[in-house]
Structure 1
Amino acid sequence: MTEQRSFMDRTALFVARGLGAGLFPVAPGTCGTALGALLAPWLFLPLSFPARLVVVILVFMLGCWAADRAEHLLGRKDPGEVVIDEIFGLWLCLLPFAQVSTQGLAWAFVLFRIFDIAKPWPVRQAESWLPGGGGVMIDDGVAGLWAMVVFAAIHGV
């Protein structure tokens, strides 16, 4: 018998999976980050700094809810198909930058992936700072902050 999911459950999974990017069978986290990079020039970077800050906060809050619900629905802690955290982390990396070239966006992508995968201090520890979906989101936020610092240093900001 197939389980019927509510509209809110389907919405949570759609958001958590990054509009479906997380369902890619190989490297779903990289696919989620790529989606964030593709959307950034249209939905994020053109905004003013205060608006980008609000968007990052809203993506974090929405991601906490969606990731928490996805963990429950999928029966796993931090399932690989949950990639809203990668979008959040990349956009956090890009937050202070009003203008980013295509090359700069590629650098931000690579730097974020390095910090997200390597999980240097305190990225790995951040997973336990918040319960459920918050823990899923916060470690990518810390990885995004690391990437932001390195990205700013590379670009002389």
Structure 2
Amino acid sequence: MPNNDQYEHGSPTEGMCCLCTMEDITDEDENYVEFQSYPSMKWKPAQFELCVVQQLLDTQFEQYIKSVKTTDCQATLRRLLKNGPPIYISDKHGFPLEEGDTHVCTLWFAIDGQERTAKLKGAVEGEEREALWKELNEFLIEDGKEEGDDDTEEGDGGD
């Protein structure tokens, strides 16, 4: 495995485009981003252009909190709460993880050649995250399904 201090970042492949905006990702536009995932620590090209990556960094945590607080579907709420509040940027298409990797940990932006954390704006860790997760779990209705909540079979306990 290459030492991060000596790793040379790449450049976009011919015809590469953002899966979100469909804009070309090019060296000239300096909108190329790479991500590193943990624990393999391998660098790979992001499938989103810089402006989409920055938008996700700035809003993904806030959007998660808003979704938990406003959804009227208990099945959706259970799915959102299953892994707890997000800490790092994630998207299965934009940042596909290697088997065994758990999350994106570092980003590299071609525009300035700098590596930066993949931690979401506003995200919390440790005891603060646990307290937030507990608070958000209070939105769950413990006595079973709400009307129209059809994600589990009756009697399966929702596990």
Give 1 or 2: higher helix fraction.
1
Larger RCO (alpha carbons 8 Å, 6+ apart): 1
Question: Is this a same-fold pair by TM over 0.5?
Answer: no
Q: TM-score when scaled to structure 1?
A: 0.30
Q: TM-score when scaled to structure 2?
A: 0.29
